Amino acid sequence: MKNSKQKKHLSINANVFLSMVAVALVLVAILWILQIAFTGLIYKNIKTSAISNASETIATNIDSDNLEGLISQVAISEDLCIKVIDLKNDDTEIYDEHFHNDCIIHKITDYDALIGSWYNNAEENGGAYTTILPREMFRDFEYDPDSFNGQTPEKDVERANCIISIRLVVDENGIEHMILSNTSVEPLDSTVKTIRIMLLVLTLIAVVVSLIASYILSKRISTPISKINTAAKSLSDSNFKTIFKEEGPKEVRELASTLNETAAQLAQLDRMQKELIANISHDLRTPLTMISGYSEVMRDIPGENTPENIQVIIDETARLNSLVSDLLNVSKLQSGTQIMDIKRVSITNIAKETVSRFERLVSHNGYKIEFSYDQEVFIEADETRLLQVVYNLITNAINYTGEDKTVKVVQSILDNTVRISVMDSGEGISEENLPLIWDRYYKIDKVHKRAIMGTGLGLSIVKNILLLHDSRFGVSSEIGKGSTFWFEFKIVD
């Protein structure tokens, strides 16, 4: 039972619009998350990296004659407080740059315990140590210097706001120095507040711009697709004259171009289908009329029940049976349901036997069929289907050969390939019509002609059988001189 409540789907315009708005909102949300959760951490990491690099620069140039100027330059550029302490001479301060009034390294008067803990941490860490401490710890010195290890107590981690860098270095005279650098990660709160205000304004602008841009872009993308959708509905109603406008993005233009080609092909197929129905009706009507007419004559007129009249009925019945069989063959071949029995066969014997059979059938009507070959050749193919190919090509040639009523079948060999050519001496086919002759019931003059032999479906059957064999095939023709149909197979030992 069909569900009466069918799910409603959004239009492509709405989908594109909502998708772009969603992307904009996600990006804004990511910016907010990064700002709220990681701004402090990123800022501290940047300052920590800067103070560590500054300490390394001073340590590298500890023996420089211009060390004092270098320390001053580094302190100004990186906003640092710096001390250089001579550890050999009672922790004497030999250089000092002071920029922050609330700097930890300049608030400490008792270095012994603190410097000892920092020294040990730096020595254990290869001569360099960086820590972040809360400034409030050192305002009233409410800590025990003897027990303080130079690291932030766990209870004060969240309010840690002063970065201390300790660097141990030995100068060229063998004197060990401690470089103390101090910087602050404040006023971080005011910075974050400013960033939040700017981010709020940016968010509002981004939302408005994304709404406008999403609307414009969604219309630009969806409008040509909507037009194609409307035109496609017309095409589904068998209006094959529908034109798809090639506009919009590249992919949409290509889609419109493909649909235009599809519409043209559908129009051609529709026309050919109607011609096929008309032609089949013609071919069915003719033998049925003959059967009906001769049967009535034999029933109503005494003495007309002759072998000749019965033979006409038998022949026309055979023609009907042949037509139905060919229609079934075409259908099976084109649907891919035909099972192929591939094996090693002699294409020479197949052509020879088919020619011999035709000679017995049509020689009394003055037709002459010639077969020429140099040697016997073997290929891999379905013998029954290959017989159909040769049979239908010869039948076609008989139907369209010239007044000399001659058909030539030639086997030729080129390298590892054998070609079978069937030639007639008829009126020939124009170059523009050559690709069309393989279609079912296609007639060059568009006037359906009842074949002398066969059903008119032969070339279509030939084409489909050879395609199943991956065989090359074709036709060449010259107006007034006849046509040559050919196909090729690889030779096997």
pLDDT at 15: 73
The per-residue pLDDT for range 421-430, each reduced to its tens digit, is 999 998 888 8
Residue 171, sorted as left (phi over 0), alpha (psi -120 to 50) or beta, turns out to be beta
Give the span between the Cα atoms of 236 and 126, in whole angstroms: 79
Give residue-wise pLDDT tens across range 232-282.
Answer: 887 777 777 788 888 777 777 888 888 888 888 888 777 767 766 766 676
- SS3 label, residue 183: strand
Q: Which of 282, 284, 317, 313 is nearest to 296 (CA)?
A: 313
Degrees to nearest 5, angle at CA 44 with 113 and 50: 80
Closest of 424, 425, 412, 406 to residue 487, by C-alpha: 412
How many Cβ atoms from other residues are within 10 Å of residue 476's Cβ? 15
In this predicted model, what pLDDT tens digit does every residue of 6-60 receive, in sequence order? 556 666 667 777 777 788 788 878 877 777 667 777 778 888 898 999 999 999 9
CA distances from 491 to 285, 347, 351, 463 (A): 44, 10, 15, 20
User: What one-character DSSP code corresponds to residue 463?
Assistant: H
Output the DSSP codes for 422-481.
Answer: EE--SS---GGGGGGTTSTT--TTSS----SSS-S-HHHHHHHHHHHTT-EEEEEEETTT
Q: Residue 404: what are its φ and ψ, rounded to 5°?
A: -75, -10
pTM, two decimals, is 0.45
Q: What are the domain boundaries of the chain?
A: 14-191, 238-330, 339-490
Give the closest residue to 180 by CA, choosing from 113, 130, 110. 130
- What contacts 24+ positions apart, CB below 8 Å, involve 183-189? 183/47, 183/50, 183/51, 183/78, 183/79, 183/80, 183/81, 183/100, 184/100, 184/102, 184/103, 184/135, 185/40, 185/43, 185/44, 185/47, 185/132, 185/161, 186/161, 188/39, 188/40, 188/43, 188/161
From CA 441, how far away is CA 431, in angstroms rounded?
Answer: 18
93-102, 217-226, 453-462, 471-480: which has the minimum mean pLDDT? 453-462
Distance between CA atoms of 339 and 354, rounded to whole angstroms?
A: 23
With respect to CATH, is domain 238-330 assigned 1.10.287.130? yes
Check whether 202 has a pLDDT greater than 50.
yes
For the domain spanning 14-191, the CATH number is 3.30.450.20
Where does residue 284 rank: exposed (0-12), middle (13-18), buried (19+ CB within 10 A)? middle
What distance in Å separates the CA atoms of residue 269 and residue 271, rounded to the nearest whole number? 5
Q: How far apart are CA 114 and CA 59, in angstroms?
A: 21
Per-residue pLDDT, averaged over 73-98, amounts to: 82
Q: What is the mean pLDDT of the chain?
A: 79
Which CATH superfamily hosts domain 339-490?
Answer: Histidine kinase-like ATPase, C-terminal domain (3.30.565.10)
Residues 369, 409 contacting (CB under 8 angstroms): yes
